Amino acid sequence: MSLSIREAGRADSPEIARIFSAVMPQRPLTAEILDHQLQALLDHPLRPHVREWLAEVDGEAVGQAVVFQNPSMFHPDRYQVELMVVPTHAQRGVGTRLAQEVETHLQERGAREVLGGAYEDHPHAVAFAQRRGLKEVMRVFDNVLNLETFDFSAWESGARLPAGVRARTLAELTQEGGEDAAMRAYHSAFSEVRLDVPRSGDATEQTMDDFRKRAQSPNFFPDGVLLAVTDSGEAVALSELWRSPTGPHRLDVGLTGTRRAWRRKGLALALKLEAMRRASAAGVQELWTGNATTNAPMLELNTRLGFRPRPAYIEFRWRSE
């Protein structure tokens, strides 16, 4: 077996996306989405660091690794690592070689904190991280809802928006008041709600420019963004659906939540149900979402709706002494 490791570039995006999707079919990736993510990093005003490697065996790409700084919870000494080897070449030394490249690079960068992860039903990947001194910090369940069997009639009462608040998709709000006003309302709600999402580091402010670039992703779905909007035009809650690379039968749930002053009024539930109705009418069969085990309110809401957990993604962290 002739194994080589080299730095990857944009031309390698199709291979990297293929490897990512083979290792984590729960979270498939396309070259187009990957290119958008990389460009967003390169264009970000914080200038986050990013470096990629590709592992090839006899000329075939079988593994990849990336080191980057996450702008959503940026710290100059914190890095995230994704390292993956296709199942056909797992436990054959490919991951070890990639890890050596990554560890050398992180040492040269003076990294003081490293985040990585693996699914709990990939025991070899979990053990691989633990052997390198990474400790578990949180778990995020994939929760899946079967829309084909969901009984909407059971939710007709007790799940309505209060008077003076209406549900609008981002596309509808754009038609009503223009793109700038719609994006400002969306960004304002998103920026507050995201602060309460469990994460392993403090959230970094997301500027309007960053937010607009997020909405340019190939899998962004304006008709899947539901906003609870007051008569004055303020968005006070939101529920996002994103297109999935797996196909039109599935949508992925993004951020769902309510601004603090409007909580305990049933807005998140009402919006989520409206999004589910629209998805079902469009022929969508499954909704996938990720919920941290520490996010008790959202876990409870999704359990009530019938979402069922799949194996959890474990996030690990290494910190220098």
Q: Given this model, what pLDDT does residue 165 score?
A: 96
pLDDT, tens digit (0-9, with 9 covering 90-100), for 156-184: 776 789 999 999 999 999 999 999 999 99
Q: What are phi and psi of 104, to 5 degrees?
A: -60, -45
Task: Considering only residues 26 and 1, tell me which one the structure prediction assigns the higher pLDDT.
Answer: 26
Q: Which domains does the chain have, with CATH numbers?
A: 3-111 (3.40.630.30), 143-310 (3.40.630.30)
Looking at residue 158, what is its pLDDT?
66
- Residue 168 token pair: 């609008």
H-helix or E-strand containing 216?
none
Mean model confidence pLDDT for the chain: 94
Instruction: Give pLDDT tens digits for 41-100.
Output: 999 999 999 999 999 999 999 999 999 999 999 999 999 999 999 999 988 999 999 999
Long-range CB contacts (< 8 A, 24+ apart) of 45-48?
45/207, 45/209, 46/71, 46/74, 46/204, 48/74
